[in-house]
Structure 1
Amino acid sequence: MQTAAKRHENLPPLRLKLVIGLVLGNALEFYDFTTYAFVAVSIGRAFFPADEAWAALLLSTAVFGVGFLARPIGGIIIGIYADSRGRGPALILTICLMAAGLLILGLTPGYDRIGMAGPVLIVLARLLQGFALGGEVGASTALLLELAPARRRGLYTAWQLASQGGATLVAGLLGLELILCLPPAAMDEWGWRLLLLPGLAILPAGLFLRRCLPMAAPEPASTIALARDLARHRHILLIAIPVLLCGTVTTFTSNYMTTYALTILGMPPAASIAVTAMVGGCVLVFALIGGWLADRMGRRPVMLLPRLALALLAYPCFALMVRQPGATTTLLASGLLAALGAISGAASLTAITELLPHRVRAGGLAMVYSLTISLFGGTTQFIITWLMQRTGDPLSPAYYLIITSLIGLIAMAALPETRSHAPADLSPVTS
């Protein structure tokens, strides 16, 4: 009897449009979700008027976190749906929900025109987006792994993280162009909406690209059966939480760097937005490098070594930015931290996905990923903003990165090496 790995090697050539549909659809969704992070200052002024700038920024970052409350719910519901009914239907659903949330976010009038209805609609939009992304990551990552040849699973899975970086890069470049073309008052009043609305291409592009995804689950199962299978693999899910924790904090600290450069370092808006583009570009490139290295060196060393380097370099990088503020130092320091996090994150995501059997891969990954994102991604920007406001120490983000990286390193050391082993019950995708 052939092993799962051998069967997978004998598959006919994979159709490129399946991978493109996953990667671009995922990138479009993350474009919409992450854009909020670096227009937080403008959104705070539009929807949360306050006497102090710190108060408006705290309220805006708190609403950014609201979107994460719905992620575990989306992870459970859409993840189980993807395992029981098929990856394709689940991924088309996430596209539609994300587009609805974006439309609300981009078209809602400000507080000065409709009062409290504005903040309420913004919260609703963030909840819809969070619910959609909660299920997106599990289903799309599982399918990328299942599409991959056995010796390139790391590289294929790395496209999940790389697509997020690509989305951030595009958003940063568009934001930079708007900053250069519009006066500050216009950017605060309506310019930030232009940055959000191009993401409405998510619906037609996403539906077109994903129409060829597998529309049925190879092994249909009941929700009760899936829950039992997940319970059998709870040890993997528990270890995955601190592994994903450190990557999550790094990602959302990197996304916060535009706000940090603008409000803490006093950099001009154009230079601040350029930081976002730098971070996105580094994640795009170095996530793929991390996946490539994981296929050649193994998952464990590529997880551990860059994460250790990040823990050691976080403080010097932030100290350099604060003591010698400027575009060059901020771009280099932010890019270095993002690159190290992307290399480690690509290997970590591959290892966790490989450890879960096909039957519960999408649901298990969606649950653990969305729970971690909700607890730590949704609070990261609020926590570091609050810490800096309370302590007056602009190096607070570095301390948070160091602590979470050390926690992640302990958990990574407990994960087994998976490069030489076929994923449990790998079910190849042939359609």
Structure 2
Amino acid sequence: MTPGEVETIANPFAGPLRNQRRGIRSALVSAFKLVALACVAFAGVLAVQHYSRVWLVHRYTQDLNQLPTDQRIARLLELSTLGGPDRNDAAMPTIVAALTDPEPPFAQAAWRILQQAQDDWALLSPSRSDQKHRQLIRLIGQQADRVPADRTAWAAGLVQTSLDALRRSGKDDDLQINRLALNTLQRLNESGASATVTGDGDTTVEGKITQTAAAPTPLRIVGMSAPLPIGNDWAGNVDDAAPNSIAANTDEAANQPAQASARPIQAQDDTNLQAVAPETVHLKPVGDTPQIVAVAKATPPTSAVQTTSHLVQSPLEAMDIRTVVQFLADPAPETHDLAEAELRRRQWSDSKIELADRLVSGPVSARLELIDWLGSQSKFDPRAWLLLLLDDTDARIRHRVVSVLKTVNDPDVQDRLRKHAASESAPEIRSLILQ
């Protein structure tokens, strides 16, 4: 090597720089592989969760029709809890299809499960809640033609509740969902209007007997093409008519051939009124009729002695607190004021009366929020207030009350719940108590 030939001399810094660039490249490749592996693993977990629920729904519904009614209801309750309110999409078609089941108790259980699900969706995020309501409207639209006529009010109520929820969230501008809901309500309306009730209590659709009314069913939806006339041309419900107006409308009803086969008139005391056959009256001469004259001693009129031991200050005085509080929900102002006066007579404050009034009356959603508020209170004992609603007529209220009381560590409350299970009509609430 001669002086000046630099290119033949090895660069002492070339090796470390080359190794450093190779190390950065390998680190980036390793990081990319790690992120890709994590994404694949996460997608695999989601797929396993989804298809596992689908597989479970398939196994639960495989022999569902061969089981007794109680076991079918219990299995339907288990289906509704798969994944919680946010992850039970796979079970929703089966629950909605149960509304068309031939057994009324099974269909009624499905209806109540869907009602409870709508209440639970209020706890989800707004976007997820709207998605669940849209899914329910689509599923009911698919089953609308198969819903029996005596259950159309159940399906229509579920659709209307979902529409109200979408309207409150400001997401009611979806034209496709609105058209589907309107079409579904119209089909349910036509199905309900085509049903008639025979004299034996059988539900008849288009002349064919489909089901005997053996279980409590909702009121049917009847479509009206024109408003009812005002006046005496339409007698309305005879059960609600005054006794004097029944006799006045008898002659008019007899002259109308369309009403000749109407159902028999029934009075308020369940006494069937039957037409009396006319009888021929033969008048006899006065001389042929024996006359008997009875003479009695005249006595001054005296007033009968009446006992006053049964008189009380108020008609509600002999009733317990629960019954008096339930009278606050009466739509008649006189009954409401009477119950309020009785509670004041029992030393109830205005705040307690107002709270009791809100608990037993008002919209169901507001009452459910009030129950949740009572369950979270630590300043006073809410158990007495919750026990007042244990016999409420709305199943959603009873379900929420039982859910709150089940978390109370009180033997008396748990014993009260077990006693209530014997008289509870809703199977899902009874199962919740006995868990």
**TM-score bracket for the superposition, by shorter chain length:** under 0.3
Higher helix share: 1
TM-score when scaled to structure 2?
0.23
Q: Which one has the largest radius of gyration?
A: 2
Please report the TM-score for the alignment, with normalisation by the length of structure 1: 0.24
